[in-house]
Structure 1
Amino acid sequence: MTATREGITDMKLEKETLPKGSSDMAFVPLVEGTLHSPPDQLAEETVLARPRKMVVLHWLTVLCLIAAVTFILTRDQVDGRAARQWLLEGHRHFGLFVLVLFFVRLVLRIRLGKLPHDGNLSWIVRGLAGLTHVALYALLLALPMLGWALSNAEDKPVHLLGVTLPALVSADEDLADRLQAWHLDAAWVLLGLVSLHVAAALWHHFVLRDGVLRMMLPKRRR
């Protein structure tokens, strides 16, 4: 009991010896044993925070990509023509959803204009991040377009929610072979860029601790 009282007295003395005008935030971890983000970091995260619409569209795109990949990989493991055709249609639909989301995101991005960036990062890092984002956007456009054209080249109609979409190319077996190869190559490149994107987000979160990952996570209502 005496030791406890002495410990409380020491903490009070330590708080009283803080320089005049200093924040009690520096003392909170000593009392509660928790870590708090400094006010300047919280302010920076607020400035860098992305609009809610951008966050929602980002994660909808992620879910559609995961679904498209899951459908096509499952198709390779399934027997039965009807099941394989259903999975292929699911793959096409989610791929086209990615295409629709791409245009929605593009319009929103243009309307928002230039977004604030982290001034603590060097211009080289910001430049590489910008190039990665441009490449990701390009592939989110090219990959579904290649799949759409591939179906047309195989003389198969493309449907989206019951609506038959216009053909991009005429039926052509040789062209279909090339488009299939390009579609697969683009998918592998996209996978590599997504992996790089995830690694960069984790680097920001665990190494730089700058809140970049948190600003793109869905906010929980309190």
Structure 2
Amino acid sequence: MNTAPKYSPLQMFIHWLSAILVILVITLPLMKGVLADSFGGMGNLFMIHKSLGVLIFFITICRIVVIIRQGVPEVLAKHQKLQRILSKAVQGMIYLLLLVLPLSGYLMSSRTISFFGLFTINGLNLPASLQSFLHSVHIFSAYLIIALILLHILAALYHHYWCKDNVLRSMLPIK
């Protein structure tokens, strides 16, 4: 019998869905020269990028609600205080950035967002200086979340291959 702590199936689903969506939303602008024609031009490519950002924002809110309601398993031993602090700090920063990135992306542009062509979210007409600042926040946050996600992945692999503990398995739907 496996007694290692596991995240709930809902938490696992939200985690892996978020991971896929974040990879897509980061990849689209980086691959714009290659992908623009495949998606019918830059306008469609950025419509998808913005739609994914809106989706990530709302999934992150749901994720936070699920965490508040269900809690999270203690996958690191109590005596691993520094690792526990670092883990919580990195996860907390990732959650914060999953909110800041879509918000700054929305606010930096006064354009209306078409959410996958289903409905629109009206843009806000903010001063150019504020839009410029929010653009800088958006770009800085994008680089920061990439670094934190890489750190998160490396930590999971470190635990799986070096420590040989159940940290990575706690977020996998397999036993």
1:74 Cα shift? 2.1
* Structure 2: distance between partners of 1:58 and 1:132: 15
Identity of aligned pairs, percent?
26
Matched, 1:210 2:165: yes
What SS does structure 2 have at the residue aligned with 1:212? coil
Moved more, 208-217 or 57-66: 208-217
* Structure 2: distance between partners of 1:106 and 1:181: 26
Q: 1:164-209 deviations in whole A, cap 9, x for unaligned?
A: 2244x42432322222111000000001110110111011101111
Equivalent residue runs for 1:108-119 within 5 Å: 108-113=66-71, 115-119=73-77
Find the counterpart in structure 2 of residue 163 from structure 1: 119
Instruction: Return the index of the structure with the highest Cα Rg.
Output: 1
Equivalent residue runs for 1:170-185 within 5 Å: 170-185=125-140
TM-aligned CA distance change 1:114 to 1:67, over 3 Å? closer
1:79 Cα shift? 6.6
* Structure 2: distance between partners of 1:78 and 1:112: 40
TM-aligned CA distance change 1:50 to 1:74, over 3 Å? same
Matched, 1:74 2:31: yes
For residue 31 of structure 2, what is the amino acid of its counterpart? T
Find the counterpart in structure 2 of residue 64 from structure 1: 21
1:113 Cα shift? 3.0
1:78 Cα shift? 5.9
Please report the RMSD computed on the Cα atoms of aligned residues, expressed in angstroms: 2.2
Matched, 1:52 2:9: yes
For residue 114 of structure 2, what is the amino acid of its counterpart? H
Q: Is the 8 A contact 1:64 1:98 kept in 2?
A: yes
* Structure 2: distance between partners of 1:103 and 1:78: 30
TM-score, length basis structure 1:
0.71
* Structure 2: distance between partners of 1:75 and 1:171: 26
For residue 218 of structure 1, what is the amino acid of its counterpart? P
Q: Is the 8 A contact 1:68 1:91 kept in 2?
A: yes
Find the counterpart in structure 1 of residue 43 from structure 2: 85
TM-aligned CA distance change 1:54 to 1:114, over 3 Å? closer
TM-score, length basis structure 2:
0.89
* Structure 1: distance between partners of 2:32 and 2:135: 16
1:70 Cα shift? 2.1
1:122 Cα shift? 1.5
Q: Is the 8 A contact 2:107 2:134 kept in 1?
A: yes
Equivalent residue runs for 1:1-222 within 5 Å: 42-43=2-3, 45=4, 48-77=5-34, 83-113=41-71, 115-119=73-77, 121-152=79-110, 156-161=111-116, 162-167=118-123, 169-219=124-174
Structure 1, unaligned stretches of length 5 or more?
Answer: 1-38
